[in-house]
Amino acid sequence: MSAAATSGGSEAQIDAARTGDPEALASLYRTHGAVLYRLAYRLTGTAQDAEDVVHDVFVGLPKALGRYEERGSFASWLKRVTARVALMRLRARTRRREVGIEATLPTVAPPFDSATVALRAAVDALPDPLRAVLVLKEIEGYSHAEVGELLGISAGASRVRLNRAMRRLRKTLEDGR
């Protein structure tokens, strides 16, 4: 049994999805969609972007599976692809440097009156490059080398950014007390 078969995607499912079979694609979505959506949401910070990221990942999955080597875990490969797409979207969003009328729609209301409000606000206020490292390292559990690979930076730069992100978070949280 291959690693893929033990990680949420049977070989048969993956082979079928590779041909564009909607049933297989739906089955993979049901297994991995929620996890990937959460990752995309944490990286992009908005429900609309997270939705678009997961949409694009699954629409492009059959073709991308042609390059999947089936040596590592399928779930982990899929998460890395999703992280890449989310980071590309962050980059495009930064390039656009504008918020359209629809994009300003608060699709997820902030958790008012919650003890986590301050932390959520502090994380949201981080610049995208720092938040990306924080999410990938501290929440998703990637190593600095893996974070570096995903972001196109060195492992050392990843450490520096995490340190900056943590310092900013601490300062924001302490200032808010």
Spell out the long-range contacts of 123-130 with Cβ–Cβ below 8 A and sequence spacing 24 or more: 123/169, 124/45, 125/172, 126/165, 126/168, 126/169, 128/90, 128/94, 129/161, 130/161, 130/164, 130/165, 130/168
Instruction: Closer to another protein by CB, 1 or 69: give it.
Output: 69
- Measured in whole angstroms, the distance separating CA 123 from the mean position of its chain's CA atoms is 15
133 binds another protein (CB under 8 A): no
- CB 165 within 8 Å of CB 125: no
User: Site for another protein (CB under 8 A): which residue of 94, 163, 171, 176?
Assistant: 94
Chain residues 134-173 in contact with another protein, contact rule CB under 8 A: 134, 138-139, 149, 151-154, 157, 169, 173
175 binds another protein (CB under 8 A): no
- Output the CA–CA distances (angstroms, integers) from residue 102 to 39, 87, 121, in the order listed: 22, 21, 22
Give the span between the Cα atoms of 53 and 92, in whole angstroms.
Answer: 12
What's the closest the beta carbon of residue 30 comes to another protein, in angstroms? 8
User: Site for another protein (CB under 8 A): which residue of 12, 15, 26, 163?
Assistant: 26
38 binds another protein (CB under 8 A): yes
User: Site for another protein (CB under 8 A): which residue of 6, 92, 167, 176?
Assistant: 92
2 binds another protein (CB under 8 A): no
**How crowded is residue 14: how many other Cβ atoms within 10 Å of its Cβ?**
19
Give the span between the Cα atoms of 139 and 122, in whole angstroms.
Answer: 15
User: Site for another protein (CB under 8 A): which residue of 12, 55, 167, 176?
Assistant: 55
121 binds another protein (CB under 8 A): no
**Minimal CA–CA distance to 24: which of 74, 71, 67, 69?**
74
User: Site for another protein (CB under 8 A): which residue of 75, 87, 136, 147?
Assistant: 87
37 binds another protein (CB under 8 A): yes
What's the closest the beta carbon of residue 12 comes to another protein, in angstroms? 19
What's the closest the beta carbon of residue 172 comes to another protein, in angstroms? 11
